[in-house]
Amino acid sequence: MLAKLPVIIKLQLLAAACNSAGGILKLFLPLFFYEIYHFDFTIIAWLMGAYGAGCIVGAYFSGVLSEYLNAQWIAGSSLLCSGVVSAAFSLVPPLTVLFLIVPLVGIFDGAFRPVNLRLITDASPRELKLPVQGLHRVVFNLGIAAAGLIVGTLVSFGYEYVFLFQGVLNVFGSLFLLSYAYKYAGALWGYTKSATTESPQEMSATACSPWRDTLFLLFIFGQLLALGIFDQMYGTFGVFLREHSNAGPEWIAYLFSMNAVLVVILQMPVTRLIDRHGMVAAARIGIVFLSCAFLLLNAGDHIGWAVLTMLVITAAELLLIPVWTLVVLARAESRQKGKYLGIFTAAWLGHSLYGPSLGMWIYGAYGGSMLWWICACVGAVVFVLHYSTVVRLERG
């Protein structure tokens, strides 16, 4: 299949791998601030919040700009700027500079995602849209897995080398994108053309804003709730295992590695199953898996329940992520696609602002067992919200 894809898709997949590998930066930022700068947790929280807010702003406005500027230039420029600003962390700048470059790197990281997604889907033949989304997921996780191995070595020499690695990687990917854009994309000022994309003037006359699309906003609300459940993997899950299963940090690493490897191995076969049985069925089954996953932890303290939980979460991820992307793209066709993808990506990136913190508060106030029941109830709400919404979005 890869041989049949246009060059622009191959380059965007390469750039996505570089961006995902470089995305390991946000995992090390809190430790960097704590161990190198000796900041207290309040300042660290503000800095990480600034990064998350930057991601949201960058994703939304990048999507909006892609209605008027050529998305190839936006993708290459945002990846280049992300690399340059990320590398600046290796200089260990003072606090005043940090409050400038932290949101900036978030803005440029966020700005890359919607245009990367748009360029890949616009260039994909209609019959290959679903397999290409699966391939995008595989490439994304390969980037993370490869970076994890490299960064694990670099961090022993110092955090500065980790951030320099991210910067170099993003700049490397951006050079391919900008070189291709210079040769083939034409002028910067001009909407991104595709087989089904109208000009901004035509769209304004024939399609409403996504902010007035009640069905789409209902889907996004359900997506935010579901992502809040997913986010428990990055906080309360590890704390619960430590307290109830006496599992050390190495188990968290093992479980996340298992998740990444399974996505790489299984995403394409699962994508073929989705193509055969339909996106609606996949979305419903995926939500059921997500609703039940953390509830399994209440069954016992053995580490095997944690492994089973991660397997079920991985199954939900394999089913939901490509389907969610494609139903949003189906809805966005012949509409203001950049704005739709900007909102979708901003919601995807923004859930980290509330998911871990809210989950940790519930965990501290009511305990892990109650949190898992709440996750199951929230999943049931998502199932109801998306039950007919996904069907109607798929129809466009």
* CATH number of 381's domain: 1.20.1250.20
Confidence of residue 237 (pLDDT cuts 50, 70, 90): confident
Identify the domain boundary among 195, 214, 249.
Answer: 195
CB 102 within 8 A of CB 333: no
Q: Are residues 183 and 213 in the same domain?
A: no
Q: Are residues 130 and 99 in the same domain?
A: yes
Phi/psi zone of residue 278: left (φ > 0), alpha (ψ -120 to 50 degrees), beta?
left
Q: Are residues 50 and 183 in the same domain?
A: yes
Burial of 35 (0-12, 13-18, 19+ CB in 10 A): exposed
Extract the tokens encoding 232.
């428990």
pLDDT recorded at residue 223: 95
Per-residue pLDDT at 122 exceeds 70: yes
Q: Are residues 222 and 119 in the same domain?
A: no
Cα dihedral 191/192/193/194 (nearest 10): -140
Identify the domain boundary among 195, 226, 242.
Answer: 195
Tally of structural domains, the chain: 2
pLDDT recorded at residue 188: 55
213-217 CB contacts, 8 Å cutoff, 24+ apart: 213/331, 213/335, 215/331, 215/389, 215/392, 215/393, 216/328, 216/331, 216/340, 216/343, 216/393
Q: What percent of the chain has pLDDT over 70?
A: 90
pLDDT tens sequence across 3-57: 778 899 999 999 998 888 766 666 677 778 888 888 887 787 788 788 888 989 9
Extract the tokens encoding 101.
């470059």
Mean pLDDT on 210-239: 90
pLDDT recorded at residue 220: 95
Percentages of the chain per state (helix, strand, coil), in multiples of 5? 85, 0, 15
Rg (CA), the chain: 21
Cα dihedral 333/335/339/344 (nearest 10): -40
Residues comprising the chain, all counted: 396
Q: Are residues 172 and 299 in the same domain?
A: no
Mean pLDDT on 216-244: 88
Q: Are residues 280 and 331 in the same domain?
A: yes
pLDDT recorded at residue 197: 45
CB 143 within 8 A of CB 19: yes
Q: Are residues 150 and 263 in the same domain?
A: no
Q: Are residues 220 and 187 in the same domain?
A: no
pLDDT recorded at residue 162: 85
Q: Are residues 224 and 339 in the same domain?
A: yes
Q: Could you tell me the residue range of the domain that residue 295 belongs to?
A: 203-396
Mean of all residue pLDDT scores within the chain: 85
pTM above 0.85, yes or no: no
Q: Give 69's strand partners.
A: 189
pLDDT recorded at residue 201: 47
Identify the domain boundary among 171, 195, 219.
Answer: 195
